[in-house]
């Protein structure tokens, strides 16, 4: 895989959305900046419609972006940054909430469709229908009924689920140097075995099925 030059965390702007499940991508960026303090801290950039900063990971300069548009317009911010800094779509990693996997799990993939996620849908559209950007899929679980999805993602998770999500984010950050360097296979091998909901069996909790979806 290509080394990563831009990491994006998706969510909705405003304090009323900050703790909702749909903002899991933003939580990832927040946690990342605590682990890798940004020499150029995240600052509001009107021309990029987002909070933009830069840090160093695995010896590489990496831009960090939180769009300040609403979720369904995220692509405007991502495309503006990518075009200005001449970042190829394959050099972008987007962290986002994922309904199809449970809290406490996280998955890494390159390319694919939007899966009904409005943030991914708009990024694909604004990037000229290019889909080969990386995705860090942070599991939030599913309410069990499609009609309840909107209400579900725009609500705060219970404390037990929130803790699982945060543990999964920490696990992903443990692998971010490999991801940024382009060593995705090793990162995937580790992350796709991780499950914060499993009983501890040593120094890391693991998902015994080793699913690489």
Categorize the per-residue pLDDT at 199 as very low, low, confident or very high, splitting at 50, 70 and 90: low
Per-residue pLDDT of 78-102, as tens digits, reads 999 999 999 999 999 999 999 999 9
Q: Which domains does the chain have, with CATH numbers?
A: 6-184 (3.40.50.1470)
Mean pLDDT of 121-139: 97
What pLDDT does residue 1 have?
80
Segment among 19-23, 179-183, 206-210 with least mean pLDDT: 206-210
Per-residue pLDDT of 18-59, as tens digits, reads 999 999 999 999 999 999 987 778 999 999 999 999 999 999
The structure's pTM equals 0.91
Q: In the 3-class helix/strand/coil scheme, how is the chain assigned residue by residue?
A: CCCCCEEEECCCCCCCCCCEHHHHHHHHHHHHHHHCCCCEEEEEEHHHCEEEEEEEECCEEEEEEEECCCHHHHHHHHHHHHHHCCCCHHHEEEEEEECCCCCCCEEEEECCCCCCCHHHHHHHHHCCCCCCCEEEEEECCCCCCHHHHHHHHCCECCHHHHHHHHHHHHHHHHCHHHHHHCCHHHHHHHHCCECCCCCCCCCCCECCCCCCC
Active-site residue numbers?
22
């Amino acid at each position: 895989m290509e080394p990563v030059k831009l990491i994006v965390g998706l969510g909705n702007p405003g304090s009323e959305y900050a703790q909702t499940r749909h903002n899991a991508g933003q939580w990832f960026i927040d946690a990342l900046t605590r682990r890798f303090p940004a020499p150029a801290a995240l600052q509001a950039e009107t021309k990029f419609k987002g909070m933009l900063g830069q840090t160093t990971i695995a010896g590489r300069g990496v831009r960090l972006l939180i769009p300040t548009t609403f979720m369904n317009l995220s692509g405007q911010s991502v495309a503006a940054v990518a075009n200005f800094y001449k970042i190829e779509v394959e050099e972008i990693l987007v962290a986002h909430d994922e309904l199809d996997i449970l809290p406490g799990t996280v998955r890494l993939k390159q390319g694919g469709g939007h899966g009904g996620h409005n943030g991914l849908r708009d990024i694909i559209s604004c990037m000229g229908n290019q889909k080969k950007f990386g995705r860090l899929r942070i599991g939030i679980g599913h309410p069990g009924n499609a009609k309840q999805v909107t209400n579900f993602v725009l609500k705060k998770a219970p404390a037990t689920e929130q803790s699982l999500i945060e543990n999964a984010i920490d696990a992903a950050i443990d692998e971010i140097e490999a991801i940024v360097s382009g060593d995705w296979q090793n990162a995937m091998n580790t992350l796709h075995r991780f499950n914060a909901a499993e009983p501890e069996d040593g120094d890391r909790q693991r998902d015994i099925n080793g699913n690489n979806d």
